[in-house]
Structure 1
Amino acid sequence: MSCPDQSWDRRRVLASATGLVTGSLLPLAGASRAAAASGTAVGAAAQYTNPVIWQDFADIDVIRVGDTYYASASTMHYSPGAPVLRSYDLVNWEIAGHSVPVLDFGAKYDLNGARGYVRGVWASSLAYRPSNRTFYWLGQIDFARTYVHTATAVEGPWSRLTTISTPYYDAGLLVDSDDTLYVAYGNTTINVAQLSPDGRTQVRTQQVFTAPSSVGTLEGSRFYKINGQYYIFVTRPANGQYILKSSSGPFGPYTMRQVLLDLRGPVPGGGVPHQGGLVRTQTGAWYYLAFVDAYPGGRVPALAPVTWTPDGWPVVQLVNGAWGTSYPAPAVPAPTRQVTPMTGVDTFDGTTLKPRWEWNHNPDDTKWSVGGGLTLRTATVTGDLYWARNTLTHRIQGPTSTATVQLDHSAMRDGDRAGLALLRDSSAWIGLKRDGGVTRVVMVSGLTMDGNWNTTGTGTELASAPASGGRLWLRASADIRPGAARPGTFSYSTDGINFVRLGPDFSMGNDWRFFTGYRFALFNHATQALGGAVHIARFELSTP
């Protein structure tokens, strides 16, 4: 739920704990590992380093249910949307599921006659309602209406509870101590809505605050009730955080106080931490999980402890006048399990994709399959990768990481294009072109969009080599440190051991307006006719 300190029967919450993710395990950081082994709480001697997740998870909402922490993030045009992250210590996180299984908000999210780039799932809210042991996701789409999805476990299945005609922009959902549902939302003018007891309709909505001109834009609401006071935590993009407080109920009146402004962040070359959420640990300590603009990689989560003034205002704990690059680890009970890593090998076993994967727009589910590898059959005839369906994406791990895929291209047909891309509004890729019965491995750059996300360049081939046989390994490496050279490099191998560079460095763009960061992307599309396929036996995301 959005208010971490509301009371409820803790045994009931723990009894409703969700299922566990299986797979390879990620060791706990630093002293946390020793604490887990001894079965004791993590002490102040342990340290964590920011960013706690060096992957693109923006507009964070964070909650605690029992001994487990959950966070939600924006995903824009990627499907499934609104990932739910899980942690037991606020430092080590895994992707547990997605609150929006499919972007069923219109044909443009299927790349059907239109495109949904930089639309879709913006800042939304995640909450837990103890009375019915249910998780709620709430978010507006396309400034048109608000959607509410629910699940009894974050892994799903998630289903739509309702749509509400009021678009709750940058919403924060509060489950009050009397079980009433409230939503704080808006841009500069902040409003509070009350929902019906079943959460399906709006009972009332009221303007509760207008940002003073000296502050400007306020948005990104998170809604809390703490010690009987109501708080709306709002951001001034992209350099400030403010909080509104009411002692007279959820509809105010509210007074405002600055939390941070132009604060130096923990990522060299990155921005000011902002637009996240507050959460209280089991032992009563408070933390602020925010994001840092760190393009070309995106917006990465950073964690800082919070204290409270005697009159009830939060204060972020600084290190030498800045958001710390490291802090003592939260003192929490040792986790019962370790989290599933966001890096490593995926052989696409089982019957579904793992939660680390998201498609560029909704896929055509008749054109892909998993089990003993990933098969991508051509789903679109186009010369433009930005129009191609079934492009499967994976976040880049910072500060530098490498993606390697083993690809069987023997079932490609003339005109097909398949490979591994660094995907954003300026993109490049390494892969296979099959034309006239001949297959070549190529490096292509110059795929571009304009500020309205229309294609302005479909790419230029900069290097090529013969591709004999039916199997090839493709590799892309990315340096996503902001302010650096931001190079992406490509190489290939015929044996999976010896790799050959192909093409020049690709300079990844760092303009913020696409919002999401670069991703590794697996694709296969036709330029002549459907019918071809590639098989990806293995994907590995590794760090130095």
Structure 2
Amino acid sequence: MTKLTHLHLAARLGRTAVCAILLTAVALPTAMAGRQAPARTWTADNGNGTFTNPLFYDEFSDPDLIRVGDWFYLTGTTMHAMPGLPVLRSKDLVNWEFLSYASPKLDFGPAFRLEDGKGIYGQGIWAPSLRFHNGTFYIFTNINHRATQVYSATDPRGPWKHHEMRRGLHDLSVLFDDDGKAYAVWGHQTLQVAQLNDDLTDIVPGTEKTLFDKDQGMGEGAHFYKINGKYFILSANYAGGFRMPAARADHVYGPYEVNQAISKDEGFGMVRGHRLKESKPSFVIDPPNPASKDGTSLHQGGIVVTPAGEWWGFSMMDYNSVGRLLGLSPVTWSDGWPYFGLPGNLGRTPRTWVKPKTAAAQPIRAPYECNDDFSGAALKPIWQWNHVPVESKWSLTQRPGFLRLHALPATSFWDARNSLTQRAIGPVSSPTVALDVAGLKDGDSAGLGLLNLPYATLGVEKTAEGLSVALFDQASGQTTRVPLDARRVWLRADCDFLREQARFSYSVDGKHFVAIGGEWTMVFQLTTFQGVRYALFNYNREGVEGGYADFDSVDIAEPMPRGLMRAIPFGKAIRLASYKADTGLSVSGGKLAASAPTTFKVKDMGLGRVALASGALYLAVDQEGAVSLRAGKPGAAHSFQWIETPTGELVLMSIANNRFLRIDPRTGAVVVDSSGPLPDGSDGVRFVWSRAGTIAAR
């Protein structure tokens, strides 16, 4: 059966079935399959003048973004991972490059080093505020049980200086005003403002004031701006669903007028996935909830203006077990408020849209290279340690071309020191680790981990009886072991973040992989405040320092590295079947209907947009959302932005009114009035398209 037939039949199936069909269609590596050439990493740039959210398909939470001259700079939360506070730059807000980490490590005692049974999971660096003033870049950030930390540099590549303030300011945002004074807004539900002293070590006595109480709905995660003489505070709030409120005033101390939602309910149709309900005494996982309209919504971000005068918004969304991802939104000013979204559909962000204007085209790039053969003199920037590393117990030089991890005593992977991690990448990826285990000693366990809560590890264990491949599932507490008669082994985890399932396999020749264990459920949880992280580990379970493990390479295969799982079928005839109904778009007697799908020819309108033709007639939309078939040369009224939901179904946004085409499931009417796809697919917005033959483009 062809891929197209699969997709056509999937129109009447649920989300899980469609995901599985799509993954099969792109030949996701399986435990028993041979290795395909690794795909390039996720890039948001579609190469046709558009981009698709997320900007990165690996975690980038609590973002803050500024523009200095022609460059944009970005940083975000890194929690307990070290080094922390990555600094990226871009000229088009879509393609980013890595510059530096502002914080090499945090070491404020045993918990930061995973000593004495302590740790800082879900703590560390969070909610940074990035600013530029008088030739200096500043990052203000929170650390649990510490005062606010300040990092500064005249060059964003570093070196970065560091000092600690005299008090902690929760989720602060800093504004350097036109008169040179600096102010901070901070707090959770009740937001405060105060002037900072000149050396940025404390607030000026007598300047602190409460701006909002908990009933005004401003939440937390403030971003503080002065725009055309007015003061704006953007924040995040959970009040009947994640949303972004905003406040404005003529004076820094107010009074402020509040807009409850400049962005609301925008999750691009993603279903709220598995969530950890509790962790003691056992792991209870809540299943996905398609009825939730807000579990993945964009929230906590800010705005920025380009050199061309365009305004753009940035924010994060909880994208289930892969973590919190970064979204980019066009901003429309209306009644003096900066709404995320487009005219006619304020507060909602198109997943695919036109890139920001730039003076020159920018190269398509990703900030990190995920693969590593450890041949360099230093670790690649993608890597971060889980807590503070023991520097003398790892090396890239003891065996050139290998990462050597010496085993330190630990009771489990969770408290193992010197675990080297990188963020998992979606929507689907498969890390494969090549490992030499000749240096292991009794009690050592080394390999590949999926660091999360619960976690899973696929490693090699050494005992007096010999070696074994061991898969440990923390959720069940069970270990599956297979004897190993080799010193070199390849370990793989096939991770599908759309279904939130992982499968594990191993090989002794790097070509033929053998499955071990069953599917393992990945979850999002708020213990670490992070998504799944891929980890390399080696620890000793017998309470002593053990041997060493030599990691030869890490390869991350990505079969879906672009914003579209399937290319737009320009010049082809297609059928559009409803995702959850036995109907589709049909033309009968020159009129649209909801019936057995008929064919439409797809005309390229540029910028990833299409016109849909039935013979000499084109689908057309007016600003009120009425749909008809019209003759003549197609233009804006006939153009639809071709967009995929995160799980691969097609949604069509009319350029005439920035709303989505749908078949009303109650009346069968074809209308263009939807603000965006609902997670449960009940609104008739999603379509599954299939080819109906090849025809020449007009």
**Is TM more than 0.5 here?**
yes
Deviations 1:408-449 (A, max 9, x none): 111111110001011111011111000015111121112x5x
Match for residue 485 of structure 2 among 465, 468, 482? 468
**Which amino acid is the alignment partner of residue 538 of structure 1?**
S
Spell out, residue by residue over 1:465-508, the C-alpha distance to the aligned partner (whole angstroms, 9 max, x if none): 33233211111121112xx3x11111112222222211111111
Per-residue deviation, 1:398: 0.9
Q: Which residue of 2 aligns with 1:85?
A: 88
Q: How does 1:5-16 map to 2 (within 5 A)?
A: none
The aligned amino acid for 2:187 is G
* C-alpha distance in structure 1 between counterparts of 2:71 and 2:440, whole Å: 46
Superposition pairs of residues 142-291 of structure 1, within 5 angstroms: 142-160=144-162, 162-204=163-205, 205-211=207-213, 213=215, 215=217, 218-237=219-238, 239-248=242-251, 250-260=252-262, 262-266=264-268, 268-270=270-272, 271-291=296-316
In structure 2, the partner of 1:431 is 459
Distance 1:422 1:174 in 2: 39
Paired AA for residue 49 in structure 1: T
SS of residue matched to 1:203: coil
**2-structure distance, mates of 1:50, 1:403:** 23
After TM superposition, give the deviation of residue 330 of structure 1 in Å. Answer: 0.9
Note closer, same or farther for the CA distance 1:281–1:375 as it changes in structure 2 (3 Å cut): same
Pairs within 5 Å for 1:82-481: 82-113=85-116, 114-129=118-133, 131=134, 133-160=135-162, 162-204=163-205, 205-211=207-213, 213=215, 215=217, 218-237=219-238, 239-248=242-251, 250-260=252-262, 262-266=264-268, 268-270=270-272, 271-310=296-335, 312-318=336-342, 322-334=348-360, 339-371=365-397, 372-436=400-464, 438-446=466-474, 459-462=477-480, 464-481=481-498
Counterpart contact for 1:206–1:251, Cα < 8 Å: no
Aligned partner (choices 25, 45, 48) of residue 29 of structure 1:
45
Give how far 1:338 is off: 5.3
Q: Which moved more, 1:327-336 or 1:272-281?
A: 327-336
The unaligned stretches of length 5 or more in structure 1 are: 1-23, 33-45, 449-456
Asked if the contact 1:126–1:137 (Cα under 8 Å) also holds between the matched residues in 2, the reply is: yes
* Residues 45 and 364, structure 2, Cα contact 8 Å, conserved in 1: no
1:172-209 C-alpha deviation (Å, 9 max, x unpaired): 12222333322211112212232223323432442241
Count of equivalent residues: 488
Match of 1:177, SS state, is coil
The structure with the largest alpha-carbon Rg is: 2
Indicate the residue corresponding to 2:68 in structure 1.
65
**Letter matched to residue 45 of structure 2:** A
Residue 285 of structure 2 corresponds to which residue in structure 1? Answer: none
Contact 1:26 1:338 in 2 (8 A): no
Preserved CA contact (<8 Å) 2:242 2:299: yes
In the TM superposition, what whole-angstrom CA distance separates every residue of 1:14-50 from its partner, at most 9, and x where no partner exists? xxxxxxxxxx999782346xxxxxxxxxxxxx21111
Counterpart in the other structure of 1:542:
557
Alpha-carbon distance between aligned partners in 2 of 1:287 and 1:143, rounded to the nearest angstrom? 34
Structure 2 residues not aligned, in runs of 5+: 1-39, 273-295, 560-698
The alignment's TM-score, normalised by the length of structure 2, stands at 0.66
Shift of 1:141: 1.6
Task: Please give the alpha-carbon distance, in whole angstroms, between the structure 1 residues aligned to 2:43 and 2:456.
Answer: 33
- Contact 1:25 1:341 survives alignment (8 Å): no
Question: Structure 1 residues 384 and 25, CA, compared in 2 at 3 Å: closer, same or farther?
Answer: closer
Identity %: 35
Query: Which residue does 1:3 correspond to in 2?
Result: none
* 2:376/2:401 contact within 8 Å kept: no
2:410 and 2:527 map into 1 onto residues whose CA distance is: 26
The counterpart of 1:487, out of the listed 489, 501, 509, is 501
Q: Secondary structure at the match of 1:58?
A: coil
CA contact (8 A) 2:171 2:187 kept: yes
How far the C-alpha of 1:337 sits from its partner, in A, is 5.7
CA drift at 1:95 = 3.6
Structure 1 residues 355 and 344 mapped into 2: Cα distance closer, same or farther (>3 Å)?
A: closer
TM-score by length of structure 1 reads 0.84
Kept in 2: contact 1:25–1:339 (CA 8 A):
no
What are the equivalent positions in structure 2 for 1:511-530 lying under 5 Å apart?
511-528=525-542, 529-530=544-545
SS at match of 1:398: coil
How far apart in 1 are the matches of 2:371 and 2:122?
A: 29
